[in-house]
Amino acid sequence: MRFTFLAIVVGLAVGAFAQSSTADAYVASEASIAKAGVLANIGPSGSKSQGAKAIASPSTTNPNYLFTWTRDTSLVFKALIDQFTSGEDTTLRGLIDSFTSSQAILQQVSNPSGTVSTGGLGEPKFNIDESAFTDAWGRPQRDGPALRSTAIISYANWLLDNGNTTYVTQTLWPIIKLDLDYVEANWNQTGFDLWEEVNSSSFFTTAVQHRALREGAAFATRIGQTSEVSGYTTQAANVLCFLQSYWNPSGGFITANTGGGRSGRDANTVLTSIHTFDPAAGCDAATFQPCSDKALSNLKVYVDAFRSIYTINSGVAANAAVATGRYPEDSYQGGNPWYLTTIAVAEQLYDALIVWDQLGSINVTTTSLPFFQQFSSGITTGTFASTSETYTTLTTAVKNFADGFIAVNAQFTPSNGGLAEQYSRSNGQPVSAVDLTWSYAATLTAFHARTGKTYPGWGAAGLTVPAVCSTSGSGSSGGGGGAGTVAVTFNVQATTFFGENIYITGSVDALQNWSPDNALLLSSANYPIWSITVNLPASTDVQYKFIRKAPGELIWESDPNNQITTPASGSFTQSDTFR
């Protein structure tokens, strides 16, 4: 037994060393390539940008990505702004100023989503000459204004620190305020997710909206715009409350979208943890910080969803890194792994390691236990101080695990270092759009996290989820829930065949008003029990039914309607059997 255990330990150590060595080499060679890749796609001097302020990719056919997306551009520039304001690259200021001026122009461009005052800020992408893109598309997408305001606030705070108050208040604040006001008024409205496919509420969108409102309230206070603070703060609390409803306790993961007919396991959730990372917030679960028990549990479920579906993951150990994609049901361009989703897993793990080091301990809960059991089968719940052998074992294993995801990308990066959008699930060859700006930016931010670098937080520390939530956006006409909402978990026992799923719809807005097309997908993680948690109006009679859906099939549950009366506050669980 002792020899066998020692052999296993030695084998794991050798494998981990190889992964870390590969990661070291990849960082050394790819960092400068990734930085050049980002800059090449930003105009007017970018070698591949064709004059645009920031393009998604120079690819013009299958797919055509020669557009500027608000979301992608804002995420990329947030990374560049962090480099500039931290002093890592002081040459970027001209590009950043060009970014803010171009965004001010785009905010005012009338487009199919509306004008600047009638919803146009939710338009996802524009032509590279800053004109409206008018073809059919998944619109609106409500993450863009939140991400843009977050990026510009980061720059504006640095400018204030360096005495440039006039430019901030006269030029940047009007841009920021338009976006924050849009978020405040529309956060409770559905829209297309960051993959531009599902029209529902989306975890990523909700979380970045929450961050934007918190940062916006603090920033408005700093520059004396106190009349805006109350509205931002009030809606931030409501958004935080709604954010909790995405958690699937029975499955141990975050359901990415409230609609869409998929399992809910999605890179959306991992990207959320890294793009709402606040080093001062510890392992806070309410904001799903990278080292929180919910985010770690979710990470394992997400990664495991790809272990058996890609040929290139064949033969990989059950606790080793693998290539990951957007979601396991994906079919876009063949449904392949993405460079940015695979390396996002590494970044979340590096962020977790940073915070554990700050805290001086790791707390293993019943929720995060399966995650940690990957690295220590005998681990139990409890708090393990940094002076303990268990802490060293776990952090070493997590670091090696994270390096493994970088090693996976390294294996499938071509010799010139170019990063496309995806690589083939069967042979690892780059596919889809070439030189994806987001692929390069995601690589840079993961590399920075690997070295332990952090950037200023956004106020996630010490937040309390309200006991009673409101789903009414300020100035918005939709989605209201009366005086407040309560989290209701629906569990229904239903045996299904492969490809068939269970949905719910009912008599209130949160249950899609009896719409079979927009009915909410339940999770099958605890099959044959299907589950979903929804924020419903408090103290309200609610009727509902479950639906079976499969290609070519839509079967309603038999009469009569199910009915519950929601409590005045707190949460509630309803268990049924499909009729």
- Catalytic (active-site) positions: 193, 196
Which three-class secondary structure state does DSSP give residue 26?
A: helix
**Cα(331)–Cα(176) distance, integer angstroms:** 36
Max intra-chain CA distance, the chain: 72
Q: Which DSSP helix (H) or strand (E) runs through 174?
A: helix 173-186
Quick one: tokens of 562?
């199910």
**For residues 423 and 336, is the Cβ–Cβ distance under 8 A?**
yes
Q: Closest by alpha carbon to 398, among 355, 448, 457, 341?
A: 355
**With DSSP H G I counted as helix, E B as strand and the rest as coil, what are the percentages for the chain, rounded to 5?**
45, 15, 40
- CB burial of 72-93 (b: ≥16 within 10 Å; e: otherwise) equals bbbbbbbbbbbbbbeeeeeebb
User: Angle at Cα 430 formed by Cα 265 and Cα 137, nearest 5°?
Assistant: 60
- Return all residues near 100 (Cβ < 8 A) that are at least 6 apart: 152, 155, 171, 172, 175
HSE-CB at 411 with a 13 A cutoff on CA atoms is 20
- Return all residues near 237 (Cβ < 8 A) that are at least 6 apart: 466, 469
**For residues 574 and 491, is the Cβ–Cβ distance under 8 A?**
yes
Which three-class secondary structure state does DSSP give residue 380?
A: coil
- Return all residues near 45 (Cβ < 8 A) that are at least 6 apart: none
User: Angle at Cα 219 formed by Cα 214 and Cα 224, nearest 5°?
Assistant: 130
Residue type, 506: G
**For residues 214 and 239, is the Cβ–Cβ distance under 8 A?**
no
Q: From residue 331, how far is each of 55, 224, 334, 336 by CA, in Å?
A: 24, 49, 5, 8
**For residues 337 and 359, is the Cβ–Cβ distance under 8 A?**
no
Please check if 173 is assigned to a binding site. Answer: no
Which region holds residue 456: left if phi is over 0, alpha if psi is between -120 and 50, else beta?
A: beta
Residue type, 34: A
**For residues 234 and 474, is the Cβ–Cβ distance under 8 A?**
yes
Quote the DSSP letter at residue 173: H
Q: From residue 388, how far is each of 262, 393, 400, 554 by CA, in Å?
A: 42, 9, 19, 55
Quick one: tokens of 400?
């090696």
- Long-range CB pairs of 126-130 (<8 Å, 24+ gap) are 126/67, 126/68, 126/70, 127/67, 127/68, 128/43, 128/49, 128/50, 128/51, 128/52, 128/55, 128/66, 128/67, 128/68, 129/51, 129/52, 130/53, 130/68, 130/102, 130/105, 130/106
Binding residues for substrate: 137
Binding residues: 137
